[in-house]
Structure 1
Amino acid sequence: MFSKDADFSRVTVILRGYSYEQCRCVVEQLVGTRLGAVEVAMNTEGAAETIAKLVNEFGSEVKIGAGTVTTVERAKAAAAAGSAFMLSPVCFTPEIFSIAKDAGAVCVPAAFSPTEVFTMFEQGADIVKIFPAARLGAKYLSDIQAPLNWMPLMVVGGVNGGNVQEFFDAGATYAGIGSGIFEKSDIIAMNADKLAEQVKSFENSVRW
């Protein structure tokens, strides 16, 4: 049913509340690294415009997508901006699934319970985001996949360089991480050298 070789970055960088220029500075540091995807949260002012600009400049090197896709309006805006994927902190509605799939975007709704996880895959999810993952713990991944079999799951919420490998070892295929990689002050200041150092440090914390 699922492929472990799906063309999707193992780690997605989450950017919420930053300007286009700040997001661009982060994306520049990801080109050529193992952190091959960036999510711009749709509850950020100007998110759709930021996504469109980043797709235009970096889309062939880094997957640029939309996060916090909780409404049909946000899904439509994300699709129009050229988002390669759409994530959410909640389950997708059938209409959001339809919009995302028509746009060719990878669908990553969130779930908390085994029933929600199963239902999201039944309705068309490519990956299901377990959120908030740290509240559940890494063993939750192996626990739910024992009866349901392997599924492409992404852990988000409280995941960082210190614990991400634990989640991968327990059965997560992907991780979405924001403050667990970068110092917020360095993003705000657009300190490219510091951000590049933080990317390298995170890459060294994972057994790819």
Structure 2
Amino acid sequence: MNMKNFPKIIIILRGYNYSKVRTVMNALSGSSIKAVEITMNTPGAVEMISKLSSEFEGKILIGAGTVTTLEKAKVAIKAGAKFILSPVMLSKEIIDLCKENSVISVPGTMSPTEIYKSYTDGADIIKVFPATSCGSEFFKGVKAPLGDLLLMAVGGVTKDNAKEFLDNGANFLGIGSGIFNKEDIESENLQGLIKSISEFEKIIG
């Protein structure tokens, strides 16, 4: 995948069942947000990735989050994940596996050293996590000496600070279900979810 075409915003869904995740994805389908991460510590995550990848193929990219081992990466890729995210640095073996399968790799980092190591190992996008602990100005600051790397802010990103991260050098954002009213996800209130997405799109421009 050409990284210029990779969605700028990824919605992270952790702990929700298939029906609720599917409702969120239906709400996203008419929006500019075209990527969803299902975390691997969600019950039934692999089955969800498989079913939803098939159902929303060509409409929304499905990825796997909280990938920490080679085995989890293999299982997620086999299920149809188009990108892999981790809260920690990914081994070069996992990054190479992703490349072999045309899957985007997004390891987790929190320091310039970890960012540079992940970059030299061949990661496609480098996740800064938890982003709010580093602060939005960290992104611009780390790019000054290391160059214009592709960085993703994840961890504590909300509709209130999302634009601040983008304005300060984050290329991508991973944002949890906090952009929605949790009750709308639990009750599968499609119109409520669509309204929240529309409000978020206006904020980030």
TM over 0.5: yes
Where structure 1 has 5 or more consecutive residues not aligned to the other structure, the ranges are none
> Which residue of 2 is the match for residue 194 of structure 1?
192
Measured in 1, the distance between the counterparts of 2:159 and 2:97 equals 33
Q: Pick the structure with more helix per residue.
A: 2
TM-score by length of 2: 0.96
> Which one-letter code corresponds to 1:6 in the other structure?
K
Where structure 2 has 5 or more consecutive residues not aligned to the other structure, the ranges are none
> Which residue of 2 is the match for residue 117 of structure 1?
115
Partner SS state of residue 12, structure 1: strand
Measured in 1, the distance between the counterparts of 2:89 and 2:150 equals 16
Q: Do the aligned residues in 2 keep the contact of 1:13 with 1:176 (CA within 8 Å)?
A: yes
Q: Do the aligned residues in 2 keep the contact of 1:32 with 1:61 (CA within 8 Å)?
A: no
> Which residue of 2 is the match for residue 17 of structure 1?
15
Q: Do the aligned residues in 2 keep the contact of 1:87 with 1:110 (CA within 8 Å)?
A: yes
> Which residue of 2 is the match for residue 150 of structure 1?
148
How many aligned positions are there?
A: 204
2:50 aligns with one of 28, 49, 52: 52
1:82 equivalenced with 2:80 (yes/no): yes
1:96 aligns with one of 79, 86, 94: 94
Partner SS state of residue 194, structure 1: helix
Measured in 2, the distance between the counterparts of 1:196 and 1:32 equals 8
Residue range with higher mean Cα deviation, 38-47 or 181-190:
181-190
> Which residue of 2 is the match for residue 61 of structure 1?
59
1:72 equivalenced with 2:70 (yes/no): yes
Identity of aligned residues (%): 45
> Which residue of 2 is the match for residue 126 of structure 1?
124
1:182 aligns with one of 173, 180, 183: 180
Q: Encode CA deviations 1:112-143: one digit per residue, 9 max, x unaligned.
A: 00000011010010000000001111010111
> Which residue of 2 is the match for residue 8 of structure 1?
6
Residue range with higher mean Cα deviation, 176-185 or 29-38:
176-185
> Which one-letter code corresponds to 1:20 in the other structure?
Y
Measured in 2, the distance between the counterparts of 1:72 and 1:184 equals 32
Measured in 1, the distance between the counterparts of 2:30 and 2:191 equals 15
| Deviation, structure 1 residue 102 | 2.1
> Which residue of 2 is the match for residue 204 of structure 1?
202
Measured in 1, the distance between the counterparts of 2:177 and 2:133 equals 16
